[in-house]
Structure 1
């Protein structure tokens, strides 16, 4: 009889990407997630707020991505070797974190408050989702 390749993880002996993925996933040692959000759990109240506000779906999606740290900020791009530096391209003062991008940058402050007359305590902002 002629030899035949058989994939032992499937009953019919045929390899599938799904069974290969699960085999690899189950055989790999568990390693900690290395990301900016790994030390920070987002409260379920934040998720409930995001998905229940009356706003267009694209705004909800943006808020979800911002809370999940899934926006392509300069530090994230630098870590992936896409960007050369992590500083904000507008103010060149701080790293372009999610908090800086949306709330802390001097240019963004003028957009939110309409003038430089309003002073925001930037030190009080530590995380985007709080």
Structure 2
């Protein structure tokens, strides 16, 4: 059983005796919950103070009859899990210099699964053949050549930028946008530069979403 950010089992170790449900530890009385603990052994005099602290702690939690339990993700205001909020939890929000590529990533208007893919891209965690080999999923004897060109190893930058197939896709995109530019060979730099030729911040933000869709 949990209360707040910790388990009661850990906070009141001396009182923990058995696994049981909350429903087995009390009863409803005219819409109010009353705790009724059945101890499996005699409570020692020195433990009475711990029990009072335990009960005071429980009274901070209000149980509502008929309400269905549900998970709430406290890192997001709406209570639902989002990739962005999870990233912010994992990062130290008090960092003086946040990583620019991630600040731009979360500004995109892409679906959450696309943003999650972008997050993996910029951390270098896309399952390319090179990454799979590093993790031991692909052995040293297996082929790690790019699935598109078969000319070099399938690294992240090669797969998304440098492969002739990928390079052609980006070139067609720039032609469609009417932009003439050199393509960086690093995914994070490429993302940050993409769309900067447009004047307004709104247009530049839209181009970041386009980048994620193409990637």
TM-score band, normalised by shorter chain: 0.5 to 0.7
| RMSD of aligned residue pairs (Cα, Å) | 3.0
Q: Deviations over 1:38-84 (max 9, x none)?
A: xxxxx611110001112222221111110011110101111233221
- From 145, 149, 162, the equivalent of 1:87 is 145
**Secondary structure of 1:107's aligned partner:** helix
Structure 2 match to 1:59: 114
Task: State whether structure 2 residue 158 is matched by structure 1 residue 100.
Answer: yes
Q: Residue 75 in 1 paired to residue 130 in 2? A: yes
- Which among 114, 117, 129 is matched to residue 172 of structure 2? 114
Give the paired residue count. 90
1:106 and 1:61 mapped to 2: Cα distance? Answer: 26
1:129 matches 2:188: yes
Task: Report the equivalent of 2:13.
Answer: 12
Structure 1 unpaired stretches of 5+: 1-8, 15-42
Counterpart-to-counterpart distance in 1, 2:168 and 2:127:
23
TM-score, scaled to structure 1: 0.55
Distance 1:91 1:120, change over 3 A: farther
2:92 corresponds to which residue? none
Quote the Cα distance in structure 2 between the aligned partners of 1:11 and 1:85: 56
Structure 1 moving runs of 4+ over 3 Å: 119-122
Using the alignment, how far apart are the partners of 2:162 and 2:181 within structure 1? 9
Pick the structure with more strand per residue.
Answer: 2
> For the pair shown, which has the larger CA radius of gyration, 1 or 2?
2
Unaligned residue ranges in structure 2 (runs of 5+): 1-9, 17-97, 190-215
Q: When the two structures are superposed, what TM-score results if normalisation uses the length of structure 2?
A: 0.36
